[in-house]
Amino acid sequence: MKMTRRQFGITAVGGALAGILAGAYPAPAYAQRKVFKMKYGSPYPLTHPAGSRLVEVCDLIRKETDGIVDIQAFPNNQLGGESDMNSQLRSGALEFMTTSGAVLQTVVPTSGINAVPFVFKNYDHVWSSMDGALGEYVRDAVAKFGIYNFNKATIDNGFRNITSSIKPINSVEDLKGMKIRVPVTPLWADAFKSMGASAATLNLPELYSALQTKIVDGQENPLVQINAFRLYEVQKYCSMTGHVWDGGLTVANARKWEQIPKELQEVITKNFEAIAIKQRADVIKMNSDLVGEMGAKGLVFNNPTNKESFREALVKSGFYTVWKGKYGPEAWGALEKAVGANLG
Spell out the domains of the chain, with CATH numbers in brackets. Answer: 30-158+246-288 (3.40.190.170), 159-245+290-339 (3.40.190.170)
Handedness of CA 245, 285, 164, 182 (dihedral sign): negative
Evaluate whether 82 touches 183 at the Cβ level (below 8 Å).
Answer: yes
The predicted structure's pLDDT at residue 319: 97
The predicted structure's pLDDT at residue 344: 63
Whether the pLDDT of residue 2 is over 70: the answer is: no
Whether the pLDDT of residue 5 is over 70: the answer is: no
Question: How confident is the model over 52-61, as pLDDT tens digits?
Answer: 999 999 999 9
Supply the pTM of this predicted model.
Answer: 0.84
Whether the pLDDT of residue 13 is over 90: the answer is: no
Evaluate whether 238 touches 23 at the Cβ level (below 8 Å).
Answer: no
Q: What average pLDDT does the segment 31-54 reach?
A: 91
- Angle at the Cα of 211 from the Cα atoms of 208 and 213, rounded to 5 degrees: 105
**Is residue 29 very low, low, confident or very high in pLDDT (cuts 50, 70, 90)?**
low
Question: How confident is the model over 105-155, as pLDDT tens digits?
Answer: 989 999 999 999 999 989 999 999 999 999 999 999 999 999 999 989 999
- Percent of the chain whose pLDDT exceeds 70: 90
Q: What average pLDDT does the segment 30-56 reach?
A: 90
Please give the mean pLDDT across all residues of the chain.
90
Residues written for the chain: 344
User: What Rg, from alpha-carbon coordinates, does the chain have?
Assistant: 23
Q: What is the DSSP letter of 131?
A: T
Q: What average pLDDT does the segment 225-236 reach?
A: 96
Question: How confident is the model over 253-302, as pLDDT tens digits?
Answer: 999 999 999 999 999 999 999 999 999 999 999 998 999 999 999 999 99
CA distance 94 to 87: 9
Least confident range of 9-23, 176-190, 230-244:
9-23
Whether the pLDDT of residue 333 is over 70: the answer is: yes
Q: What average pLDDT does the segment 10-39 reach?
A: 53
Whole-angstrom CA distances from 17 to 9, 23, 25, 131, 210 are: 11, 10, 12, 50, 67
**Is residue 34 very low, low, confident or very high in pLDDT (cuts 50, 70, 90)?**
confident
123-130 and 133-143 are packed helices; what angle lies between their axes, rounded to 10 degrees?
50
Question: How confident is the model over 55-100, as pLDDT tens digits?
Answer: 999 999 999 999 999 999 999 999 998 999 999 999 999 999 999 9
Helix, strand or coil for residue 296?
helix
Q: Write out the E strands in 202-292.
A: 218-221, 237-239, 245-253
Evaluate whether 286 touches 224 at the Cβ level (below 8 Å).
Answer: yes
**Is residue 28 very low, low, confident or very high in pLDDT (cuts 50, 70, 90)?**
low
